[in-house]
């Protein structure tokens, strides 16, 4: 109608007889109205295109066998992603690494930072309909504190002295002493007390049939597939996608093939070469972010009897199990000497690995703190590739090629050790082959054993290894280093490597009890320097997290927090939806 009116006015103006003032005014008015109309029309178009729709399913690929889904026990990254969809914590971490309310509406701390009070949102319900109350929070946190339930949040509750429910929706937590990173641990998913009270958390069907308060519920779990369906009663509003399906494949290559066939929509952690291919496919969108996990070869400084001094008869790259001798003597641990650990860092050409394996999509590691963290020391330099320096240090430590077989030896023993890594990870398998060659160049024999991730995790927890090729999380707050590298965590936490350094202990203690960020920055700066000088293993690299997702999915945000950090915002426009159920 607006267009018709404008057209009529314009036709009423006699341009041949000139344009008197009134006609000029009318003409100007026409132009203004037309401009305004087009603007409003464009706004309507933009608004329509931004509309979010409910429906459709996303199918994600993976290549690690499913582990238990229990936020206080599980340690795998795959389980962590699924837990993000099923469970909620009192708080959540935003993309800037700051703490935000989630199950709690607010909280307050006493002036001494020892007494904390949290106020729960009312009406939040578990997937079985039971309301979440203070008792569930107290139950979860008390379970985390138990030594038999050591998980990734265990050290976050080390300073918790008492937890109690003041009333149905209020929790009070009292700390033994101020702990600056305390709030970060409260992102752990809350468990339902009415289901788990009196149960052994390690042996309960709940770990394969989890019930939380999160945006998605578990619908199905089979050997190679997990299906989550939208929680329509979610307290923050139901998610847009109806379902999330996670399919497990034998390895990255198979996952990639399924992506190309259109059988899956979402391929996480794809290789750099596949990433370049998928960038040219219009039906997919690619995402890249520096992954907050550092890759390293971690040494066991006090190995269990099964592995130390034991030599496989072959390199076992096919993932089979090697026969081993029974000799074991802790005094023979080759990693006890700091010079050996330093030399192995000099012996590896990390830039070559990044070029050949990661195809330039990575960053050489100089330690354990995420390069995008406020605590990262920019001036810190990683070990350069210097095989001559490596040989010099090994000679100082008494290792020489005395029998001319190209393998260094000392006291009749060869400089040789076994490394474990999970099979199916192309990046690790290619990297370890390069490392094996580079170590052999300086006379060090590396034996490789590929095993399933679940078995590897169990062996690490039992300290049943010589060395392992692992990727470690370095997220949220640098205090995460406490549970891996503080000596108190050798028996109480996740220091599976028996790493002990008094200066590191003192710096980590100060870092977690100091509230002044600048002072903390100095403590973690010194921590990074000391770890580089007395390395617990070989620091390798940080990788770019490369993801391919079908273009029909909108609202996607991929950042350091993980795959499903904002999954509730993902949606598919109505006309592009593929799965109706």
Per residue, the 3-state secondary structure of 447-469, as one string, reads EEEEECHHHHHHHHHCCCCCEEE
Flag whether 465 is in a domain: yes
pLDDT on residue 477: 86
pLDDT classification of 44: cutoffs 50, 70, 90: very low
In this structure, the answer to whether residues 151 and 11 fall within a common structural domain is no
pLDDT classification of 133: cutoffs 50, 70, 90: very high
The SS3 assignment for 559 reads: strand
pLDDT on residue 41: 35
Flag whether 96 is in a domain: yes
pLDDT on residue 151: 79
The residue out of 209, 233, 259 marking a domain boundary is 209
Percent share of the chain, pLDDT over 70 = 86
Flag whether 406 is in a domain: yes
Pairing label, strands 445-451, 416-422:
parallel
8 A C-beta contact, residue 512 and residue 545 = no
Burial 259-297 (b: 16+ CB within 10 A, else e): beeeebbbbbbbbbebbebbeeeeebbbbeebbbbbbbb
In this structure, the answer to whether residues 378 and 455 fall within a common structural domain is yes
Flag whether 80 is in a domain: no
Flag whether 44 is in a domain: yes
pLDDT on residue 18: 43
State the burial class of residue 97 (Cβ atoms within 10 Å of its Cβ: 0-12, 13-18, 19+). Answer: middle
For 298-334, the pLDDT digits (tens) are 999 986 545 544 443 344 554 444 444 434 434 468 9
pLDDT on residue 156: 85
CATH assignment at residue 173 = 3.90.76.10
* Model confidence at 46: pLDDT above 70: no
**Distance of alpha carbon 573 from alpha carbon 209, whole angstroms:** 32
In this structure, the answer to whether residues 6 and 104 fall within a common structural domain is no
Domain that holds residue 483: 290-321+330-544
State the burial class of residue 108 (Cβ atoms within 10 Å of its Cβ: 0-12, 13-18, 19+). Answer: exposed
Flag whether 144 is in a domain: yes
For 48-102, the pLDDT digits (tens) are 356 899 999 999 999 887 888 999 998 777 788 899 999 999 999 998 888 999 9
On average, the pLDDT of the chain sits at 87
Flag whether 112 is in a domain: yes
3-state DSSP percent of the chain in helix, strand and coil, to 5:
35, 20, 45
8 A C-beta contact, residue 530 and residue 504 = yes
**Distance of alpha carbon 208 from alpha carbon 247, whole angstroms:** 16
Written as six digits, the tokens of 461 are 């927890």
Quick one: DSSP state of residue 520?
H
In this structure, the answer to whether residues 527 and 439 fall within a common structural domain is yes
8 A C-beta contact, residue 152 and residue 445 = no
pLDDT on residue 109: 94
* Model confidence at 506: pLDDT above 60: yes
Flag whether 486 is in a domain: yes
In this structure, the answer to whether residues 190 and 338 fall within a common structural domain is no
For 330-386, the pLDDT digits (tens) are 446 899 999 999 999 999 999 999 999 999 999 999 999 999 999 999 999 999 999
The SS3 assignment for 566 reads: coil
In this structure, the answer to whether residues 146 and 193 fall within a common structural domain is yes
The residue out of 209, 240, 262 marking a domain boundary is 209
In this structure, the answer to whether residues 24 and 114 fall within a common structural domain is no
For 424-475, the pLDDT digits (tens) are 888 899 999 999 999 999 999 999 999 998 899 889 989 999 999 999 989 7
In this structure, the answer to whether residues 362 and 477 fall within a common structural domain is yes
CATH assignment at residue 415 = 3.10.105.10
For 545, list phi and psi in degrees, rounded to 5: -80, 110
Sign of CA dihedral 495, 501, 507, 509: positive
* Model confidence at 19: pLDDT above 70: no
pLDDT on residue 475: 76
8 A C-beta contact, residue 395 and residue 570 = no
pLDDT on residue 20: 44
* Model confidence at 578: pLDDT above 90: yes
For 223-272, the pLDDT digits (tens) are 899 999 999 999 999 999 999 999 999 888 899 999 999 999 999 888 88
In this structure, the answer to whether residues 196 and 313 fall within a common structural domain is no
Number of domains in the chain: 3
In this structure, the answer to whether residues 45 and 156 fall within a common structural domain is no
In this structure, the answer to whether residues 350 and 418 fall within a common structural domain is yes
For 110, other C-beta atoms within 10 Å of its C-beta total 11
In this structure, the answer to whether residues 156 and 44 fall within a common structural domain is no
- 180-184, 366-370, 407-411, 500-504: lowest mean pLDDT where? 180-184
pLDDT classification of 11: cutoffs 50, 70, 90: very low
* Model confidence at 34: pLDDT above 70: no
Question: Looking at per-residue confidence, does 385 or 9 come out higher?
Answer: 385
State the burial class of residue 579 (Cβ atoms within 10 Å of its Cβ: 0-12, 13-18, 19+). Answer: middle
Could you tell me which of 522, 537, 523, 520 has the C-alpha nearest to residue 485?
A: 537
């Amino acid at each position: 109608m607006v267009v018709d009116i404008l057209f009529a006015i314009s036709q009423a103006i006699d341009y041949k007889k000139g344009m008197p003032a009134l006609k000029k005014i009318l003409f100007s008015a026409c132009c203004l109205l037309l401009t305004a109309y087009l603007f409003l029309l464009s706004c309507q178009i933009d608004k329509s295109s931004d509309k979010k729709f409910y429906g459709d399913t996303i199918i994600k690929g993976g290549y690690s066998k499913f582990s238990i889904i229990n936020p206080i026990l599980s340690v795998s990254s795959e389980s962590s992603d699924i837990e993000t969809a099923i469970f909620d914590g009192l708080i959540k971490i935003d993309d800037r690494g700051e703490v935000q309310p989630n199950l709690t509406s607010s909280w307050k701390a006493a002036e001494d930072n020892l007494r904390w009070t949290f106020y729960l949102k009312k009406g939040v319900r578990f997937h079985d309909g039971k309301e979440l109350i203070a008792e569930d929070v107290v139950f979860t946190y008390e379970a985390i504190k138990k030594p038999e339930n050591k998980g990734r949040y265990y050290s976050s509750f080390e300073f918790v002295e008492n937890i109690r429910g003041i009333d149905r929706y209020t929790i009070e937590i009292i700390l033994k002493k101020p702990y600056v990173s305390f709030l970060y641990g409260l992102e752990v998913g809350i468990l339902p007390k009415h289901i788990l009270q009196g149960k052994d958390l390690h042996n309960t069907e709940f770990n394969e049939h989890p019930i939380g308060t999160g945006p998605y519920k578990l619908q199905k779990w089979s050997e190679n597939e997990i299906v989550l369906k939208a929680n329509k009663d979610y307290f923050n509003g139901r998610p847009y996608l109806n379902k999330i399906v996670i399919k497990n494949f034998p390895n990255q290559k198979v996952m990639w093939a399924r992506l190309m066939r259109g059988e899956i929509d979402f391929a996480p952690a794809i290789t750099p070469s596949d990433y370049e291919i998928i960038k040219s496919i219009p039906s997919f969108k690619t995402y890249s972010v520096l992954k907050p996990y550092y890759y390293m070869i971690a040494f066991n400084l006090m190995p269990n009897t099964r592995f130390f001094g034991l030599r496989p008869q072959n390199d076992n790259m096919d993932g089979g199990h090697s026969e081993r001798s029974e000799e074991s003597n802790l005094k023979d641990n080759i990693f006890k000497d700091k010079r050996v650990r330093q030399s192995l860092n000099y012996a590896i050409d990390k830039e070559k690995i990044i070029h050949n394996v990661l195809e330039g999509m990575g960053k050489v590691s100089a330690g354990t703190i995420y390069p995008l963290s406020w605590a990262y020391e920019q001036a810190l330099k990683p070990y350069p590739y210097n095989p001559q320096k490596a040989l010099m240090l090994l000679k100082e430590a008494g290792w020489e090629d005395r029998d001319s077989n190209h393998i260094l030896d000392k006291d009749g023993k060869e400089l040789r050790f076994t490394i474990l890594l999970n099979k199916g990870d192309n990046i690790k398998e290619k990297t370890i082959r390069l490392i094996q060659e580079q170590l052999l160049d300086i006379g060090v024999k590396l034996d490789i054993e590929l095993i399933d991730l679940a078995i590897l995790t169990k062996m690490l927890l039992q300290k049943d290894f010589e060395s392992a090729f692992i990727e470690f999380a370095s997220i949220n707050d640098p205090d995460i280093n406490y549970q891996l590298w503080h000596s108190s965590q050798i028996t109480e936490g996740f220091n599976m490597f028996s790493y002990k350094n008094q200066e590191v202990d003192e710096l980590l203690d100060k870092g977690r009890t100091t509230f002044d960020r600048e002072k903390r920055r100095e403590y973690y700066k010194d921590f990074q320097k000391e770890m580089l000088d007395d390395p617990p293993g070989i620091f390798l690299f940080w990788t770019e997290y490369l993801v391919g997702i079908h273009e029909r999915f909108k609202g996607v945000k991929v950042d350091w927090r993980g795959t499903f950090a904002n999954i509730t915002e993902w949606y598919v426009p109505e006309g592009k939806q593929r799965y109706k159920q």
